[in-house]
Every structure is written in structure tokens, then in C-alpha cells.
Amino acid sequence: MLGGFPFLKICLSLFCSRVTENAKNSLASLKRENPRLEPTLAIIQAHNDQSIQETNKNFAKEVGLRVIHICLPEGSTKNEIVGEILRLNEDPNVQGLALDLPESLYSSKILNAVKPEKDVDGLSSVNLGRLVHGDDCLVPPTVCAVMELLGDIGGKKVLLVGVRGAEAAALQSVLQRQGATVLSCHCKAPQLQSELGDADTVVFGSAKPSDVPASWIKPGATVIYGAHDLLSEKHSCGQQNDPAAEKTVGSLAVAMRMQNMVKNLERWIWSQKHRKWDFHRLKLQPLSPVPSDIEISRAQSPKAVDVLAKEIGLLTDEIEIYGQTKAKVRLSLLERLKDQPDGKYVLVAGITPTPLGEGKSTVTVGLVQALTAHLNINSFACLRQPSQGPTFGVKGGAAGGGYAQVIPMEEFNLHLTGDIHAITAANNLLAAAIDARILHENSQSDKSLYNRLVPVVNGVRGFSPIQLARLRRLGINKTDPGTLTEEEISKFARLDIDPSTITWQRVVDTNDRFLRKITVGQGNTEKGFARQAQFDIAVASEIMAILALTTSLQDMKERLGRVVVANDKKGQPVTAEDLGVTGALAVLMKDAIKPTLMQTLEGTPVFVHAGPFANIAHGSSSVLADKIALKLVGEKGFVVTEAGFGADIGMEKFFNIKCRASGLVPSVVVLVATVRALKMHGGGPNVTAGAPLKKEYTEENLQLVADGCCNLQKQIQIAQLFGVPVVVALNVFKTDSPAEIDLVCKIAKESGAFDAVPCNHWSAGGKGALKLAQAVEKAVNQKNSFKYLYNLELPIAEKIRIIAQKVYGAQDIELSPVAQSQVDRYTQQGFGNLPICMAKTHLSLSHQPERKGVPTGFILPISDVRASIGAGFIYPLVGTLWPGTCSALSCRARHSCSKAAGKQRRGNMQWCTGSRVNPFLCAPEKHHAAGTAYV
């Protein structure tokens, strides 16, 4: 028998103390390495035994764990218990799950409902299978307790009496591995007496049956009594009538449970840091000649998006499914993975492109297909959502192309999950609020306005939080609406918007040239308050730029509140917060803030989120998509994202604007080039969208290629300004000769690129980008001394000058009178410390699209300067570029030039001063002819 009661009590207490102390020390070490770790064990209980709760809570508190009990009523069905298990399985705040149930409920259906990675009791079939096969797994705490009590049992005979189910399988496996001979017997079996008389150790699954006399047990044998899971305080060990012994045995199993919880945490943390995705790629069978993009897309059968989500480690409650192939991902993921190290951050940029584009999106997709589907490295692509404007225009869609594209292509390019529609609704709500406020202020007294703004509700009048904030900004420190003076009421109620300064326009996501310039307020109800306005393309809205740069729902709300829509008649900015619509805008955008999960042709994950222009905005997908993807790929994974236009525009803005907003540090730049673009920069004829290429582009011409590589060299140098390693990806076309390809790669490496590789992903999928993927994998290990190009504290004009001289190669800048006036105004209003977002043609390093190669010695003309205060940048308008360029709708051609407008000549530039608000350079039609287009 197990020794005398005092000895047994002391030994078991020592066992418990040792186990608890070890678990406590291990958990403390984990918390030192992961200071934000808040480990939580959930225990589902379906009986009224409060002593079990107390025992669990006491041990958990001593170890440093948080334990929550889910107490289901007695008589709960298996389905009810399973439902609760499934809920806790998907709770990211719960790392461990245990069951305290009546013995009749321990079925395989319930035990296997627990996720193996949360199963601290180790009784699921997955864990038992690992245990039987000798794999690394958690041993059930009941088994651990028994083994601790038994000590060395090598060569002994162990009899299990009335031990059933998963516990019996686990105990038998562990005993046999320790060298014991194990037999199992039912407590009513006729051979029980003989088996008891022959066993060195007896483990009863419950209290010793009353009809089994002690004389049946072999003298000197060790006997352990217990219920099904040895956790109940009613369990017994040794002699049944010793309450102290009974309690201590149950407590030892509870201590083992807490130890298992800590081990589970260690594995969870390790898996978060080092986990390879359980990824299954979609097979490609590339055809030659390569079919159209839409044919390729429709020929592939994508995975169900919930399957893809599970493969990359998303929990069920972290996705919102839209159909079969796309899903929104909730921001709660960032909280769950907050201690997860980020992966490597890769930016795809390009040389100065032809009007046809050089394939940055295609390279982005091909690279992640190579990394994930072929090299088995966790990787994510983060792409912008295209607007309907270019999709139905010359540019077309933006899903990539050939065998390197996002599928389904139609869903990617049209509507997606409605983000652009949400932006349209929010933008137009704000536009309506501006005109409504002007109308009411023009037609009502101060008192009437005040009563509308602060109405009596149920006999009580009170300020809303947003109104209290406005009062504080006005210097009125009052909270009772009845105590404001007449002067304070007027100050509070009237925004006094100057209609001529309104910069906030209505938007629609369609090319509609007849909405470029409109007159609003012509209805009889508007009382004659008509004014000229316009529609922009929806994605040109500042709300799109805000969506792309925001880091949280709260941050987005604050940014929306800071949006400046006009000036008042004293020249001070009027914001969305002043109009009181910030909360409404945020509600409209509450789903749009979540990135959309899709997949490539080879089934690798893609986030599609936000689509700001690369001229009047920064031209990159969202900060949130990048942040979430960097957590999901893990420390050794890659997130590949894209910057619009050439490196001189998109990459510069990515680093100086987006990286400032996100705090993320890029690992490497992939610079996309094509032989045809280099030939154009070397003096080749103009390239026109829709027209056949001239023979210079379809036949070998090494001289043109060599001459045009000056642009590639310049773009490499621009990347080096920021201290980031560069890999050149030569996007190969079938007309490129081997000699031309070799020449480009040679010159690129001689010019400072870490590597330069040809890519055939368009025709071969990820397999065609393997060399690029391997080069990127090596490049991220190079020295990275990332730095911003300028300090934000510098004057606005000086920041513009730094970009013009260091990036574009300009000799200097020249500001128009209007531009200088705007710079002075923004500085006076306190916006001078914002980063700069240059609105410039993408077809040349200069402001003149026809100047190819590397222009030098030019003066960069700044026609106007505007601000997106909510997004957080100043955007100067360069040369003849118009904001929101060149969809039929988005061109803001609202200041037609005429002799009556008046002209002023400055140096080599001719300025139009025909409007007192935002004059532009003359002849906007020239910028269409020059082929300026947006991305």
C-alpha cells in the first residue's frame, strides 16, 4: 500500500509544490520574453462541484495564470457543450481549454471538439495519437499525477481496474513506455481476484468497489484510487477514509494541469515565431502561347477562402466571408499576434515606365508565388484595389497578368467588398454637410442655428462629445448649453465657410466627363445659394488616402476629423470635426478598414486594400494590410507590396510618407525594368497604348538598351538614397534577346544593385520568378541603413527642393505666386511639418513627359500646393499635372484659360491666374495629349 497517511500527505504536498514552482518559474520566464503575454485557461464545467473551481483557481493564481470557468447547468447536452468548446477554440484570448464533466459526457465527440493546440488535458484523438507514437505532445495531467506517485515502475506488473476511455489509453501507453507490464480489468470481471493478487501496482478508476476485500490485493502493492479524471476532490488515494489524502491526490492532478498549460504556452509562442504554413498550392499548367488574362483566371479553380484563411493561421472569428473567394480580415488579429515578430518587408518599384506600364503588379504576384508555392516560404502580396475608372478605361484592371495574377480577376477589379462604395458614401456625406451648413447659416439666426445644433431632447439640452471638443477648441470651457453668452453662441454655431475656398468635392467611381464641372444649389429650396463644383473619381477622395495610411479604427476617426474642407472668412481651416460628422464618416468606413483576403493563381494569399492615386496621394496599399501580413508570415516570412509609378514617385512617397505613418522599415527594394522601356529611354520612338510597337522594340538593339540604362542607374541611385538594398527584376518579353537581357543585368549590378535577374513569371507563374525570389531572400540579409530623405521640421519649400534636386535631378524649383501663397498659408495654419507628396508626371524624371532618360539642369515648376491634412501630407502640383489625372471624370479641368483670365510670365513658365482659388497652368488639354495617366 502507499505509505502511512502523514507520510503520504507530506510526499504529495512536496510533489504539488515542486510541480507548481516549476510551472511558475517557466511562466515567469515566458513573460519576461513576452511582456504583454496574458495567458488564460478556460475550463468548461457541467456540474455543481464548487470545490473543483476553487482548486483550479488557487493553483492558477499561484502559477500566475488567469483561469475562467464556464459553468454549464447540470444536464447540458453534448451539443451544448460542443458549442461552447467551439466558441472557446476561436477565442484568441484563450490559450488553453480543459473539461470538468460528468463521466458520462466524456465522449469522443466532445473530446475531439477541443482544438489540439488548446487541449491542456491531452485527451483529444490527435494528442493521444501523438502520445501512442511517442511524438512530442502533452501527457494528460491525470496520467502525469499517477506516474509521479508511482515512481520507478520498470519491470513491474500494473493492473488498471475500471479505467476507461481516453485516459486508459494514455495511461497504458505511458506505463508501457516506462517498462511496465500493463493489464486492464473490469471491476466486475470474474478474474479480478487473481489479477489483483498478481499485480505490483493497482490503479482504480474510481473508489475501490465495496465487494473487493483488501485481502485480494497483493501484500506490499501500491494502490491508487481515483475517479475518471482524478481531479475531483472526492477522489481517493491509499485508504479511502483519509480526507487529507483524497484532497492531495486531486490537487496533484490539478497542479499537473497548470504545468501542461504552461507547456502549451511555450509551444504556442514558439509556433507563432517559427510556424510554417500548412499550405497547399494550386497547380498551374501554363499554355503556349499564353492565353488572355481572363481566360487564365477562369481556367483556375480557387480555394475556398475559409480554407486559405485556415492555412495561413487565421481563426474562424477573424474573417468575414464575402462569397466563396474573398473575405474581410478583422483588426483583432493584430492584438492576438502583437508579440509576433514581423517578417521581411519588400517593396516593388519600377523605372520610369512607358505608357503601357512595366509590370510591377505582375512581378509582385509572381514573386510571392515563387516564395510560397515553390520555396515553401511564408509570403503575402499586398496590392491596391483598382477603381472602376481605369478598369473600364484604357488602363484596364490591376490584378497582375498572365500566370501571375490575383483570382478571380472580375471580383478583384469590380466592387470587391464594397470599400470604394463606402468611400463614395462617406465623401458625399461630408460634401452634403458642407452645403447644408452654408445654407442654414445663410438663412437662420444665431439662436435658430443653436437650437438646431443643440436641441432639447426629453426636456433636457446637452452638448455631444464632439460639440464639447469644438467648444474647447474655441476656448469656451463650458458644459451647460444654457450658460453660453450670445457671442459664444454665435461663435459656436457659425462656421462662416467661404464658399470660394471649398476644396471638398463630390465623387463617383465612374468616368463621367460631364460631371467634371457642375453647378449645385439650383433647386428652389436652396434659396439661390448656387455655386460651381465638380465630381472627382472616388479613389481621388482624401478618404481613400486616409484609409491607406490609418493604423486603427480610432486613428481613422481622428484623421477623418482633421480633414480640412474649406477656410472660413477669416482664413482659418474648417474641418470635418467642426461640421460634426466625424462619427458618421467612421461608421460608414467601419468595414472598409478591414483588408480583403484573396489569392493568386497558385493559391498564395493576397491582401487587397485601399487604392490611393500615386500622384495626388502616395500610391500604395494600406498600412493595415502590411502590418497584418507581416504578423501572419512570421519572422522568416516575406510581405511584398507595390508602389505606384516609377521609383522617383511611388518609392519616394512610400518611404517618406507611408513608412513614417506605419513605423515599418523596408528590407529590400525590387526595381522592375523592361527592355522596351530602356530602349525608349535610350532614344527609341514614342510608345502609345493600343498602337503596335515599332521595330526598335521588337528587334535586338543593344545600343538603345545600353543608352537607356541611364534611367535604370538613376532609379537604383534613388533607392540607395534611402539606404535600402536593391534587386533589379527584368520583366522579360518574348521579343527580348538573350544579349539584351544579359546586358541589362550586367549594367544593373555594376550600378550598385545587389543582384539583377530576368523573370518569366508572366508566362510560367511562380516558377518563372524563382531566381528573383532567391535573390530577394539573400538581399534581405544585406546591410540596411534605412533613412528618410528629409526632416519634417524643414520648411515646405525646402522639402520640395530636396525631392526635386536629389530624386528628380532638378537644378532648382520655382513656385508660382499661388503656390507660394498656399505654402505661406499652410505654414501659418500649423501644417508646415507634414511630409510632401509630389503630384508629377510619371513618364519622366522631370515635369515634362517627353523628356526621357535622365534629364538634368531643369527648373521644376510648382503651379499650386494643396494639403490633405487628414491623410497627413502636403501635395504640390508640378508642371501641367492635374490632380486625379486622367480619367475622363477625374481631371479637374475647371479653370479654362482665356484672354480675359489674365496671364503672368515668370521665367520659362506661363501661369494662369484666371481663378482666385487654385489657378493652374494653361492648356490642360496638353496633359492628355502627353499621355499622363494615373495608376
Active site (catalytic) residues: 360, 362, 384, 395, 614, 645, 733, 762
Residue 865 CA to residue 239 CA, distance in Å, equals 89
> 860 has which bridge partners?
813
Smallest CA-to-CA distance from 878 within 915, 932, 824 is with 932
Smallest CA-to-CA distance from 885 within 851, 836, 919, 929 is with 929
201-204 and 157-161 strand pairing? parallel
Torsion 415-417-421-423 (CA) sign: negative
Residue 203 CA to residue 372 CA, distance in Å, equals 51
The cell numbers describing 335, all together, are: 492584438
Residue with grid cell 530602349, as numbered in its chain: 679
CA atoms within 13 A on the CB side of 697: 20
3-state SS class at 730: strand
Residue 675 CA to residue 681 CA, distance in Å, equals 10
Q: What is the CA radius of gyration of the chain?
A: 35
Residue 584 CA to residue 426 CA, distance in Å, equals 8
Contacts of 10 (CB under 8 A, 6+ apart): none
Residues recorded for the chain: 935
Residue 663 CA to residue 666 CA, distance in Å, equals 10
Question: Is the Cβ–Cβ distance between 605 and 599 less than 8 Å?
Answer: yes
Torsion 584-585-586-587 (CA) sign: positive
Question: Is the Cβ–Cβ distance between 482 and 496 less than 8 Å?
Answer: no
Segment holding 619, helix H or strand E: none
In 10 A of CB 765, how many CB atoms?
29
**Cα 641 to the chain's mean position, in Å?**
12
The cell numbers describing 827, all together, are: 505654414
3-state SS class at 605: strand
212 DSSP assignment: S
Segment holding 326, helix H or strand E: strand 326-329
Smallest CA-to-CA distance from 584 within 466, 688, 486 is with 466
Residue 451 CA to residue 461 CA, distance in Å, equals 9
Residue 438 CA to residue 520 CA, distance in Å, equals 13
Question: Is the Cβ–Cβ distance between 274 and 635 less than 8 Å?
Answer: yes
Residue with grid cell 472569428, as numbered in its chain: 317
- Between the CA of residue 406 and those of 292, 302, 383, what are the distances in Å? 14, 10, 10
